[in-house]
């Protein structure tokens, strides 16, 4: 059967394709990928979204390798099939193709091979029978005939072909996602520093992707995210995706006056504390081997500067390589908005780098709302702990529902503290302030302890 391609994203070194199977609970035997590429080999992963620890994450389902050798003078061989051999519970299936340094693979079609499922029943008389489906809130039936399945394999059956699916005239539409509770407990937001108004464009399931404001000012694990309506919490669930969003930072070169053999690039991000996972750049130099180090310069509470390492990579580039790009994975998210990339040239000429790009994973918030709802997304409370909503019990319904794209307005800053502008690793404002007070107090005490000079009579 043919599979519809719902979306396609090109991540660094990876193609991410969302496939719409057209139905849930399909017993897939294999997936076949059509491409006109004559010579290639790719590792492929099939994944499905699943709820894990109150967050929707992408769970690998199957792995495989596809390839083709179809060049003149060589024996032709190919394998375009990925074995699955399991039941896919969702309508969506994620196809992840690892390209590494090769260009993205063109895909013309995707086909799925599924195992058929048979319904066996006893018709006591000839006539018309109706097969009902499409009620997600209906519990599974429990018939005594199911226990006799092994004994019915040798029974002669009459094959029937059902008519096309049609609407039930007796059907009464229920509320969209009726099993999801609308309201939660009240929340004192005095400890939250930022918020954004959120607008739902239609009723039902909503989806909003967290922007740079939220990514920068919220906790790294988003434990402080709260969605409020009329002062009460609106349950939501996070969806962590494998989609990589791209940023183009501002980059300047900075030579080392003490050591001219060091090349250094200052990388300025649009926000501090962004969850950057990878950094890429392209070389104009054709031949070199360098060890690249990425770090940020921070200041502790005493005012002393130190380097925090963010990653390193060995880059070997020869003229025969088609790709001039280096992809450097980060081993931690930066806390500031300024990164430094550094390399030692030794006795070689300095290398020239350009086209710097930074990548971060897309994170979405899924919830249920109405267009008339006045929604506010709060964040920026370092003391907040992760909320616990019963919504995770029905996250599958929310994930399978047709989701509308909600929109967020400009960020609103709610309050400023006396230490505003002081971020972790950036300045010793508190330390030097306390130290100044201590020095003043000590001077006063010492002045009082000194002997008074006698006055002449």
The values of phi and psi at residue 423, to 5°, are -115, 160
Query: Can you tell me the distance from the alpha carbon of 364 to that of 361, in angstroms, rounded to the nearest whole number?
Result: 10
Instruction: Provide the pLDDT confidence category of residue 420 given band limits of 50, 70 and 90.
Output: very low
Q: SS in 3 state form for 38-64? A: CEEEEEEEEEEEEEECCEEEEEEEEEE
- pLDDT at position 119: 84
Per-residue pLDDT reduced to its tens digit, 12-53: 889 999 999 988 889 999 999 999 999 999 999 999 988 877
- Per-residue pLDDT at 4 exceeds 70: yes
189: left (phi over 0), alpha (psi -120 to 50) or beta: alpha
The per-residue pLDDT for 43 is 96
> Each residue of 202-253: pLDDT tens digit?
888 899 999 999 999 999 999 999 999 998 999 898 999 999 999 999 999 9
Q: Specify the pTM.
A: 0.77
Show Cβ contacts of residue 181 under 8 Å, excluding neighbours closer than 6 positions: 235, 390, 391
- The pLDDT assigned to 419 comes to 42
The answer for residues whose C-beta is within 8 angstroms of residue 416's C-beta and 6 or more apart is none
**CA–CA dist 149, 251 (Å, integer):** 68
pLDDT > 70 fraction of the chain, expressed in percent and rounded: 90
pLDDT confidence of residue 330: 95
Q: What percent of the chain has pLDDT over 90?
A: 50
How far apart, in Å, are the Cα atoms of 372 and each of 202, 227, 317? 9, 15, 57
The dihedral formed by the CA atoms of 364, 366, 371 and 375, expressed in degrees to the nearest 10: -80
Best CATH choice for the domain 2-114 from the list 3.40.1010, 2.40.128, 2.60.120, 2.60.40:
2.60.120
| Cα separation, 92 vs 86, whole angstroms | 14
In which element (H, E) is residue 310 found?
strand 305-317
pLDDT of residue 441 exceeding 80: no
Alpha-carbon span 79 to 64, nearest angstrom: 10
- Rounded to whole angstroms, the Cα distance separating 333 from 220 reads 9
pLDDT-derived band at 428 (thresholds 50, 70, 90) equals low
pLDDT(349) > 50: yes
In sequence order, the 6+-apart residues with CB closer than 8 A to the CB of 69 are 38, 39, 75, 76, 77, 78
Please report the pLDDT score of residue 417 as a whole number: 46
User: Within 13 Å, how many C-alpha atoms sit on residue 284's CB side?
Assistant: 8
Looking at the predicted structure, is the pLDDT value of residue 451 above 80?
Answer: no
Output the average pLDDT for the chain.
Answer: 86
CATH 2.60.120 domain span(s) along the chain: 2-114
pLDDT at position 331: 93
Distance separating alpha carbons of residues 213 and 423, to the nearest angstrom:
16
Give the whole-angstrom CA distance, residue 306 versus residue 343.
18
C-beta of residue 282 within 8 angstroms of C-beta of residue 355: yes
**pLDDT value, residue 225:** 95
34 neighbors 145 (Cβ within 8 angstroms): no
- In the predicted model, what is the mean pLDDT of residues 97-124? 90
What mean pLDDT comes out for the span 63-88? Answer: 91
Question: DSSP label at 393?
Answer: G
pLDDT top residue among 313 and 323: 313
Using one digit for the tens of pLDDT, what is the confidence trace for 244-288? 999 999 999 987 777 888 999 999 999 999 999 999 999 988 888
**For the range 410-416, what are the long-range contacts, defined as Cβ-Cβ under 8 Å and sequence gap of 24 or more?**
410/196, 411/194, 411/195, 411/196, 411/213, 411/217, 412/194, 412/195, 412/196, 412/197, 413/193, 413/194, 414/189, 414/192, 414/193, 414/194, 414/195, 415/193
Q: Is 14 exposed, middle or buried (0-12, 13-18, 19+ CB in 10 A)?
A: middle
């Amino acid at each position: 059967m043919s599979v519809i391609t719902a979306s396609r994203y090109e991540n660094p070194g990876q193609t991410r394709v969302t496939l719409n199977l057209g139905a849930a609970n399909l017993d897939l035997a294999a997936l076949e990928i059509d491409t006109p590429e004559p010579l290639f080999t790719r590792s492929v992963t099939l994944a499905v979204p699943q709820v894990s620890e109150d967050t929707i994450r992408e769970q690998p389902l199957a792995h495989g390798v596809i390839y083709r050798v179809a060049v003149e003078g060589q024996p032709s061989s190919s394998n375009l099939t990925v074995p699955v051999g399991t039941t896919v519970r969702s309508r969506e299936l994620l196809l992840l193709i690892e390209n590494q340094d090769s260009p993205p693979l063109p895909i013309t079609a995707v086909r799925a091979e599924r195992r058929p499922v048979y319904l066996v029943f006893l018709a006591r008389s000839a006539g018309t029978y109706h097969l009902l489906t499409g009620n997600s809130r209906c519990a599974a039936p429990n018939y005594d005939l199911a226990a006799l399945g092994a004994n019915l394999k040798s029974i002669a059956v009459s094959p029937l072909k059902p008519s096309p699916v049609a609407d039930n005239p007796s059907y009464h539409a229920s509320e969209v996602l009726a099993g999801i509770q609308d309201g939660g407990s009240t929340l004192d937001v005095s400890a939250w520093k930022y918020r954004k108004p959120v607008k739902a464009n239609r009723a039902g399931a909503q989806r909003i992707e967290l922007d740079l404001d939220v990514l920068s000012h919220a906790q790294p694990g988003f434990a402080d995210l709260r969605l409020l309506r009329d002062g009460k919490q609106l349950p939501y669930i996070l969806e962590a995706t494998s989609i990589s969003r791209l940023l183009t930072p501002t980059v300047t070169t900075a030579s080392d006056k003490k050591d001219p053999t060091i090349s250094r690039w200052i990388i300025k991000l649009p926000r501090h504390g962004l969850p950057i996972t990878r950094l890429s750049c392209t070389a104009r130099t054709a031949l070199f081997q360098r060890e690249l180090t990425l770090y940020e310069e921070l200041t502790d509470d005493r005012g002393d500067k130190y380097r925090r390492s963010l990653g390193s990579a060995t880059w070997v580039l020869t003229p025969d390589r088609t790709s001039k790009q280096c992809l450097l994975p980060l081993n931690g998210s930066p806390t500031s908005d300024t990164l430094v990339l550094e390399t030692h040239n030794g006795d070689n000429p300095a290398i020239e780098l350009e086209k710097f790009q930074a990548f971060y994973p897309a994170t979405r918030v899924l919830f249920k709302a109405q267009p008339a709802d006045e929604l506010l997304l709060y964040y920026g409370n370092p003391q907040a702990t992760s909320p616990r909503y019963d919504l995770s019990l029905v996250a599958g319904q929310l994930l399978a529902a047709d989701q509308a794209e909600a929109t967020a307005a400009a960020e609103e800053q709610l309050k400023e503290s006396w230490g505003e502008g002081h971020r972790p690793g950036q300045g010793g404002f508190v330390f030097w302030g306390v130290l100044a007070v201590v020095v003043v107090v000590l001077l006063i005490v010492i002045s009082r302890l000194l002997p008074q000079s006698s006055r002449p009579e």
